[in-house]
Structure 1
Amino acid sequence: MQPLKDQKYYQSMVWPELQIEKKEDHLLFRHPTKLETISSAVYGGGWNQVSKFVNWKVPIDYSSTDPTKLMAQKLAEWGYPVADSLGLQTAAFLHIASIQEMVGDEFRILCCVTAGVGNAARAGKKRKTYSAYQIGTINTFIFIDSSLSHSAMVNGIITATEAKAAALQDLNISDEDGDIATGTTTDSVVLAVSQNNVRYPTHQYAGVATTIGNAIASLVYDATHEVIRNL
């Protein structure tokens, strides 16, 4: 839809209950009730239920032997309830974050992507690897007001990842060897669902041929494409 740029608040057109605020060094997403999540978040990752989501732009000289502990400390410092929060970290610019949203077949979706491609990489090829933790570079948040089975939530992560890779391919983003990248070495993704099964029937699948999967893919593709174009 549009980059955040100089906006402090973003008012969703499809899901006004989901509030988005750009702070000095992080983005804050909050919902009045807890959402069910599956994510690779450094803090609160895996399966979880939270109502606050943070994308923290770490300092350029960032270094931590325990990033999970540091993330918890930052959440507390900002005044967010640590047990009810999820946190990602990035070195990418926040002001060019792209937000895309859609109302579709028994769902409302908002997607936000921040990105940098300085460490672009192609999955599946042999490369130098590291055992140490590094901060996320393409961070993807997908918020869904609907009801999804757990299988569909995992399927949604797959669909989002494929869409991110497609955007990088179409933008000709390459790795250090000149091969088309599928992501960066440090990406993170969050999929958060309201699980409102009173208002919505439960989506059992979220592949690209389903209405909800196609929406996830389209929004992630457009957001990734836009934010990288604006780097």
Structure 2
Amino acid sequence: MAQPFKNQQHHHSKVWPELSLKRRDDHLIFQSTFPLESFSSAVFGGGFQMATHYFNWQVPLQYASNDPVKQIEEKVNFWGYPKQQTIGLQTAAKIELGSVQEIHGDEFRMVVCVTAGVGNKARAGKKRKTYSAYQYGTINTFIFIDGNLTHSAMINSIITATEAKAAALQDLRIVDEAEEDATGTTTDSIVIAATQDPAYPTHQFAGTATTIGNSIGCLVYDALTEVVTNWREEEKLRC
């Protein structure tokens, strides 16, 4: 079991102790001592960016905002994080159930954190009711890598992580409203951040046949499986 935020405020990584992982009242904050090269679908600081701070802000289930970026910026100012080096996601899922998985692998160290709820599960590739945009993610995935990856390998990492997410949901028997296997939820987000330390050999690829890609897949799969399994247990206890 690797849900450290249920019982403590600060998780001390065994493989990457320099990476800080903490839980605040309404968000998780991950902090690096120096900027990491990042690709993300984040609502705040998304795309390509160098960053030192990464947060996952828990918002109410009925959260709505006409200008979520401005609202997040106000939060970042309140928290005191550096705006130009901060990447942020939003979620309605319980952050204390977030799972942290880590590994010291083949010329890399890796820490993965996933928070999740599956209330708005959906199957990609199927016509459904759609909207112009969503403001927050339900399955949020953070992948931190102390290693050296090409940009194409970083994008490859996102593909591998997404495949692992879909596989976990299928094995957990998460289905959409038509009882078909869900591949995700309607509001998922992902962040991948790497040190790009030149002391490591360069990872050219990150597909499932590579050591680094296999680790990404396994850690994301295990993290999401743990979160959903424990979420289900809590729901049973409420009933």
Structure 2 length as normaliser, TM-score? 0.95
Which residue of structure 2 aligns with residue 118 of structure 1? 119
Secondary structure of 1:168's match? helix
SS of alignment partner, residue 137 of structure 2: coil
Q: What does 1:76-225 correspond to in 2, within 5 Å?
A: 76-197=77-198, 199-225=199-225
CA distance in 2, matches of 1:163, 1:79: 34
Q: After the TM superposition, which segments of 4 or more aligned residues of structure 1 sit over 2 Å from their partners?
A: none
Q: Secondary structure at the match of 2:109?
A: strand
Aligned to 2:236: none
Per the alignment, in what secondary structure is the counterpart of residue 95 of structure 2?
coil
Secondary structure of the corresponding residue to residue 179 of structure 1:
coil
SS of residue paired to 2:178: coil
- RMSD, aligned α-carbons: 0.8
Whole-Å separation in 1 of the counterparts to 2:113 and 2:44 = 18
Q: Greater share of helix residues, 1 or 2?
A: 2
Gaps of 5+ in 1: none
- Say if 2:63 is the partner of 1:62: yes
Aligned mates of 2:62, 2:26 — CA distance in 1: 14
What is the distance in 2 between the residues matched to 1:229 and 1:103? 25
CA distance in 1, matches of 2:23, 2:86: 16
More deviation, 210-219/70-79: 70-79
Match of 2:18 in 1: 17
**Paired residue type of 1:54:** F
- Match of residue 30 from structure 1: 31
Distance 2:135 2:45 in 1: 17
- 2:182 alignment partner AA: A
Give the Cα–Cα distance (whole angstroms) in 2 for the partners of residues 210 and 88 of structure 1. 28
Name the aligned partner's letter for residue 178 of structure 1: E
Return the TM-score normalized by structure 1.
0.98
What letter corresponds to residue 222 of structure 1 in structure 2? Answer: D
Amino acid at match of 1:33: F
The secondary structure found in structure 1 opposite 2:131 is coil
One-letter code aligned to 1:221: Y
Moved more, 1-10 or 141-150: 1-10
